[in-house]
A and B are shown apart, each in its own frame.
Chain A
């Protein structure tokens, strides 16, 4: 079964760093783009960016460029989303999802359950 698995929740204080993971299984991890999607409380979906684990080619939305860092370990079958200094406004659910095919403009097909990130003092 093709799946991507994320941790359920993280609680952090403003100014702290965070790296959340997305582990793929059941398919050739290096050969499919992985994307990240933000959903703030009570709001819609936001496209953050995608990464190709095979060569770490990364595409960011202009809204998130410089705010987060995407990375991937193709041998550990895991993608990551990282913050160096969290803000309260980073509180959201973060979904990772594998794209359906090889093209970078394909649909998000296999979704993780989401990581709830809470940033509060």
Chain B
């Protein structure tokens, strides 16, 4: 089972703001490992959305933002759009797993 816990689902109407939490522990997020976020559209490969806690790769809209505090991180989507309907995963590293990486449990975002 994953050591990073996300809510199974979140939903919002077009234009609204939604947030996805990623809860870890003192051996991963709390140990100051970077948190990265990915978007996976249905039937597609994942896409990097946020790296290093709060940085967007070129081409990712500024509607997506990341933050981290203590043993948790969050992804916020503002101005929700129909094309944002997808699965979202956080990812970090964990010293209790010999420093290997770990993904969160994943969150399905539904646009109402």
Binding site for B on A (CB under 8 A): 35, 37, 44-47, 49-50, 59-62, 95, 97, 100, 105-109, 111-114
In B55-112, which residues have CB < 8 Å from any A CB? 57, 87, 89, 91, 93, 97-106
Contact present for B99 and A112 (CB under 8 Å): no
Interface pairs A-B: 10 shortest CB-CB: A107-B36, A47-B101, A107-B51, A44-B106, A45-B103, A61-B100, A111-B45, A105-B93, A109-B48, A45-B89
Contact present for B97 and A107 (CB under 8 Å): no
Residue pairs across A and B with Cβ atoms less than 8 A apart, 13 shown, are A37-B46, A45-B38, A45-B89, A47-B101, A47-B103, A100-B51, A100-B57, A105-B33, A105-B34, A105-B101, A107-B48, A108-B36, A109-B48
Contact present for B100 and A109 (CB under 8 Å): no
**Which residues of the other chain, A, contact B33 by a CB distance below 8 angstroms?**
105
Contact present for B105 and A44 (CB under 8 Å): yes
Q: Which residue of A lies closest to B100 (CB)?
A: A61
